[in-house]
A and B are shown apart, each in its own frame.
Chain A
Amino acid sequence: NAGVTQTPKFQVLKTGQSMTLQCAQDMNHNSMYWYRQDPGMGLRLIYYSASEGTTDKGEVPNGYNVSRLNKREFSLRLESAAPSQTSVYFCASSEDKVNTEAFFGQGTRLTVV
């Protein structure tokens, strides 16, 4: 059972380049999330998707776009990367309940130079 799979695991970008972080889950969850984690900090929500075809902004959405391609996949796009977007990015998914657990991917470590 794969759970939540993120690709790539590591990426180095030059300022101004674009890239898409991929996330897929195999648990048939409606809700999916993208977080970023800066050194010494907790995770901050970038965007979330409550169901296929819907997305909403989280706490720190500026500089990012997302696509909920289907129920399994939720991608995060950086159109013009900036050094401030150097971070570890985590994708997560959960059922539509507050009394169940969320599952996280292993993260993508992104460096923008």
Chain B
Amino acid sequence: DAKTTQPNSMESNEEEPVHLPCNHSTISGTDYIHWYRQLPSQGPEYVIHGLTSNVNNRMASLAIAEDRKSSTLILHRATLRDAAVYYCILRDLGAGSYQLTFGKGTKLSVIP
């Protein structure tokens, strides 16, 4: 399985933009880049995904490097509710399953 590397933790001030990096140097051409987040005491929730082009949705933006070996999740204005663990995951049809393989993620702290 292709793996991802993320910083263990990051801090941001409230109402400022946050850039969460992810390295995935062994990504294959068919891997989709997914981001999930897990708020305290909750199950993971989907944030965004992309293949090659940058993506925007109501929660965040995803910037994907041209060589696809890294990506950045962008929260445009961090709020206290964005404090969570963010997981960068490569998803492909490995072993006949659409499973998500989680690493340890990045714990984002938001400072009021």
Q: Which residues of B contact A (CB under 8 A)?
A: 30-32, 34, 36, 41-46, 49, 51, 87, 91-93, 95-105
Contacts and interface: CB of A to CB of B under 8 A. Distances in A.
Interface of B is mostly: loop
Contacts of A74: none
A33 B32 CA distance: 19
Nearest to A3: B43
The 3 closest A-B pairs by CB, nearest first: A104-B43, A42-B102, A101-B46
Contacts, number: 64
Nearest to A102: B100
Contacts of A41: 104
A98 B92 contact: yes
12 contacts: A4-B43, A43-B102, A48-B97, A50-B97, A56-B95, A58-B99, A90-B44, A98-B31, A98-B92, A101-B49, A103-B46, A105-B43
Contact of A98 (B32, B96, B102): B32
B32 A99 contact: yes
Contacts of A40: 104
B97 A56 contact: yes
B54 to A, nearest CB: 15
A97 B98 contact: yes
Contacts of A92: 43-44, 100
A45 interface: yes
